[in-house]
Amino acid sequence: MSVRPQLDERVLDRLTECAARWTGFSRDAILPDAIRRAVHSLHADPEEVLARSTAHDPAVVHALCQAVSVGETFFFRHPDQFRWVAQEWIPELLASKRSGVRAWSAGCATGEEAYSIAACLLDAMPRGATVAVLGTDLLERNVAAARDALYGAWSRRPSGPQLHPLFREQPGGKALIEDRVRQVTRFHLHNLLEQAPAGPFDLVLCRNVLVYFSPEAVRVAVQHLVDVLAPGGAVLFGPMDLPETPRGLALAGAPELQIYRRAEAVPRPRARQAPVKEALPPPLPSRPRTPPPEPVAVHLRALVHIERGEKSLAQRELADLCAQVPDYVPGILERALLHVRQGERAAAAQLMREVLRRTERLPLDEELAGPEPLPVRFYRESAATFLRGTGGGA
Ligand SMILES: C[S@@+](CC[C@H](N)C(=O)[O-])C[C@H]1O[C@@H](n2cnc3c(N)ncnc32)[C@H](O)[C@@H]1O
């Protein structure tokens, strides 16, 4: 077990300030334990780390950014956005006689998002069209992993349906991205607080990154994205990223899709926006699906805790949710998955069985409201696959 150094409040406060400045994170998204972890990884006295931080020592910058960053990602996350790209946006692009498309996955983590959009564009564009995807991230280790293009089961979890083929299974359970997808995708280091890579880009995905940022950092980062957006282009954010519609952009479609175009390109009246985000996102604007929005909002808050590595907070929030709304199946599966990640397979198995029990009379195609609307089939298959792997027990 690693022993974290004791940091006095002043050192903790000043290193938190540095991490916030370098990453764009709001201070309340930076856990004290992450700062302790960074100092520990440097094998140096905390006062020395502090002194080096004021000189922007690259090793200190790197350690702090790495420790606070959250790299949660998987293939075809938010699948409805990929469906929108393939079914609505690409036909529109082709109608304007475009024969190529450039996309940027900004804050791509280990590359799953960049490869997913590359596979989607390759399938949706006519044969012979040019597709180019750039993935960028703050962290070197993420960019290196993205270039390796080799993924385990967690990146391929069932909540991201495999909408477009993009990898081949390898011996040993890993999957390697297909050559045709790798050939159109490249990766660079980049900080969203700095000027964007050379554009223009027709499509920008910046999803589940800004949720951690301070309002000022969101403004700066979004401006950089808008600066390189091609005419007719679109920017896709995650469901919790934006406290309000950013200047220069307008919602293009259902609010839950979080797809934006340049304001002047969307003449329709604006849809209502989510209120300004505090330390944690407030409940989302109401959705026209059953069940009522409260369980979905609580679920989304739990996902923020999971993204921040606050697993016990998430577990508590989900347990309360399941007690109050026992038929909210997405919450039961989320709890189960959290137990799986913590190696608590018996607790997970019990909840997976609960998922099967609560869905046994529902039509397989019926969509259940959750952070992403997914059919009953998805929940039953996820639970059944897990239980098969544990011999049904655990
Ligand atoms: C939660 S992951 C999201 C990955 C992917 N976009 C998705 O939605 O699945 C957030 C990523 O943003 C990156 N990130 C955080 N701050 C950043 C910054 N200032 N500039 C660029 N990337 C940043 C992190 O390193 C991390 O890989």
Please report, for the domain that includes residue 380, its CATH number: 1.25.40.10
Q: What is the pLDDT along the chain (394 residues), one digit of tens a residue?
A: 455 667 888 999 999 999 999 999 998 888 888 899 999 999 999 999 999 999 999 999 999 999 988 888 999 999 999 999 999 999 999 998 888 999 999 999 999 999 999 999 999 999 989 999 999 999 999 999 999 999 988 888 776 688 999 999 998 889 999 999 999 999 999 999 999 999 899 999 999 999 889 999 999 999 999 999 998 899 999 988 887 888 889 999 888 899 999 876 655 444 433 333 333 333 333 333 334 447 877 888 788 777 777 788 888 888 888 877 888 999 999 999 888 888 888 888 889 999 999 999 999 988 888 887 788 998 999 899 888 876 654 4
Element (H, E) at 127: none
Residue 2 lies in a domain: no
Residues 340 and 365 placed together within one structural domain of the fold: yes
Residues 129 and 158 placed together within one structural domain of the fold: yes
Residues 105 and 212 placed together within one structural domain of the fold: yes
Instruction: Compute the distance from residue 136 Cα to the ligand 1 centre, in Å.
Output: 9
Residue by residue, DSSP assigns 163-189 as -S--EEE-TTS-EEE-HHHHTTEEEEE
Instruction: Compute the distance from residue 19 Cα to the ligand 1 centre, in Å.
Output: 14
What CATH number does the domain containing 224 carry? 3.40.50.150
Question: Which residue bears the tokens 């479609």?
Answer: 253
Residue among 105, 117, 137 to mutate when testing ligand 1 (max atoms within 8 A of CB): 137
Ligand 1: which residue has its CA nearest to atom 16? 23
Q: Which atom of ligand 1 is nearest to the CA of 142?
A: 27
- Read off the DSSP letter of residue 192: T
Residues 317 and 382 placed together within one structural domain of the fold: yes
Instruction: Compute the distance from residue 110 Cα to the ligand 1 centre, in Å.
Output: 9
Q: β-pairing, 259-262 with 229-237?
A: antiparallel
Residue among 139, 193, 194, 209 to mutate when testing ligand 1 (max atoms within 8 A of CB): 209
Residues 91 and 170 placed together within one structural domain of the fold: yes
Instruction: Compute the distance from residue 262 Cα to the ligand 1 centre, in Å.
Output: 23
Question: Which residue bears the tokens 């349906």?
Answer: 161
| φ/ψ of residue 13, rounded to 5 | -65, -45
Contacts of 163 (CB under 8 A, 6+ apart): 76, 79, 82, 83, 86, 116, 119, 120
Residues 88 and 209 placed together within one structural domain of the fold: yes
Question: Which residue bears the tokens 């004021």?
Answer: 54
- Does ligand 1 lie within 6 Å of residue 73's CB atom? yes
Longest dimension (CA), the chain: 63
Q: How many domains does the chain have?
A: 3
Q: Which atom of ligand 1 is nearest to the CA of 78?
A: 8
Instruction: Compute the distance from residue 318 Cα to the ligand 1 centre, in Å.
Output: 25
| φ/ψ of residue 245, rounded to 5 | -65, 125
Contacts of 210 (CB under 8 A, 6+ apart): 217, 218, 221, 222, 237, 238, 241, 242
Q: How far apart are CA 89 and CA 82, in angstroms?
A: 10
Residues 338 and 364 placed together within one structural domain of the fold: yes
Q: How far apart are CA 169 and CA 163, in angstroms?
A: 16
Residues 118 and 242 placed together within one structural domain of the fold: yes
Q: Which atom of ligand 1 is nearest to the CA of 191?
A: 20
Instruction: Compute the distance from residue 23 Cα to the ligand 1 centre, in Å.
Output: 10
Alpha helix stretches (DSSP H) within the chain: 9-23, 32-41, 46-54, 58-68, 79-84, 90-95, 112-124, 140-148, 179-182, 215-227, 293-307, 311-324, 329-341, 345-359, 376-389
What pTM was estimated for this model as a whole?
0.72
Residues 134 and 41 placed together within one structural domain of the fold: no
- Cis status, amide bond into 91, omega within 30 of 0: no
| φ/ψ of residue 101, rounded to 5 | -145, 140
Residue 277 lies in a domain: no
Ligand 1: which residue has its CA nearest to atom 12? 107
Domain extent, residue 102, equals 79-265
Instruction: Compute the distance from residue 353 Cα to the ligand 1 centre, in Å.
Output: 34
Residue 13 lies in a domain: yes
